[in-house]
Amino acid sequence: MLLPKIRIIGVLIGCLLALSSNAKAGLYGFHRVNDYRTDENTLRMDYIPKHIENYRGLMRENLLMLIDYAKSHNPNFQVVSHEGQYLLNKSKWEYDLEGYNNVQKRPASASDPYFLFNNKEIPIEPVDGSVAKRYLNSVDAVVINNFYCGNGKEEDVTINNNLGLISIENCSSDEELDGAIVRSLLDHKIIYAFVDKNKPFQDLLSQPMINDSAKNITRISEAGNITFLLDDSLYDTKEQMVSSISSSNYDVVVISPLFHNKIPFSSDDVVRMQIKRNGAKRLVLAMINVSEISPKDYFWEAHWRKGNPSWIVRESFVNQNAFITQYWHPKWRELISRHFKDVVITGYDGVFFTGIENNQYFEHLTPLE
Residue range 215-272, pLDDT digits in tens: 999 999 998 888 888 889 889 999 999 999 999 999 999 999 999 988 999 999 999 9
Of residues 195 and 131, more confidence is placed in 131
175-184 confidence digits (pLDDT tens): 998 898 888 8
Q: Is 142 helix (H, G, I), strand (E, B) or coil?
A: strand
Average pLDDT estimate for 338-348: 97
d(CA 91, CA 17): 31
On whether residue 157 sits in a domain, the answer given is no
What pLDDT does residue 101 have? 85
What pLDDT does residue 7 have? 35
133-173 confidence digits (pLDDT tens): 999 999 999 988 889 998 877 877 788 788 888 888 888 99
Supply the CATH number for residue 242's domain. 3.20.20
* Distant-in-sequence, close-in-space partners of 99: CB < 8 Å, separation ≥ 6: 114, 115, 116, 118, 119
Answer whether 173's CB lies under 8 Å from 194's CB. no
Selection from 160, 173, 192, 8 nearest residue 82 by Cα: 192
On whether residue 126 sits in a domain, the answer given is no
Sign of torsion, CA 81 122 107 116? negative
On whether residue 283 sits in a domain, the answer given is yes
Place 112 in a pLDDT band, splitting at 50, 70 and 90. Answer: very low
Q: Is 56 helix (H, G, I), strand (E, B) or coil?
A: helix
On whether residue 6 sits in a domain, the answer given is no
On whether residue 158 sits in a domain, the answer given is no
Which runs of consecutive H residues, i.e. helices, occur in 4-155? 38-41, 55-73, 92-105, 131-138
Answer whether 346's CB lies under 8 Å from 73's CB. no
Average pLDDT estimate for 65-74: 97
d(CA 265, CA 346): 8
d(CA 366, CA 52): 7
d(CA 85, CA 357): 10
On whether residue 156 sits in a domain, the answer given is no
Residues in the chain: 369
What pLDDT does residue 199 have? 62
269-306 confidence digits (pLDDT tens): 999 999 999 999 999 999 999 999 999 999 999 999 99
* Cross-strand pairs, 353: 81, 288
> Residue 13 burial (CB < 10 Å; 0-12/13-18/19+)?
middle
Place 126 in a pLDDT band, splitting at 50, 70 and 90. Answer: low
Q: Is 335 helix (H, G, I), strand (E, B) or coil?
A: helix
* Distant-in-sequence, close-in-space partners of 228: CB < 8 Å, separation ≥ 6: 14, 16, 17, 192, 201, 253, 254, 255, 287, 352
* Cross-strand pairs, 6: none
Selection from 199, 164, 181, 184 nearest residue 30 by Cα: 199
Average pLDDT estimate for 310-337: 96
Listed in order, strand segments (DSSP E) in the chain are 12-13, 78-82, 141-145, 164-170, 190-194, 226-229, 252-255, 258-259, 263-264, 283-289, 292-293, 312-315, 323-325, 350-354
Of residues 94 and 355, more confidence is placed in 355
On whether residue 259 sits in a domain, the answer given is yes
What pLDDT does residue 13 have? 35
d(CA 177, CA 156): 25
Q: Is 213 helix (H, G, I), strand (E, B) or coil?
A: coil
On whether residue 7 sits in a domain, the answer given is no
Q: Which domain holds residue 293?
A: 12-46+53-76+198-365
* Distant-in-sequence, close-in-space partners of 356: CB < 8 Å, separation ≥ 6: 59, 63, 81, 82, 83, 84, 87, 290, 291
Of residues 116 and 169, more confidence is placed in 169
What pLDDT does residue 140 have? 95
d(CA 252, CA 80): 12
Selection from 289, 270, 271, 282 nearest residue 356 by Cα: 289
19-49 confidence digits (pLDDT tens): 333 344 466 777 788 888 888 887 776 667 8
Could you give the number of structural domains in the chain? Answer: 1
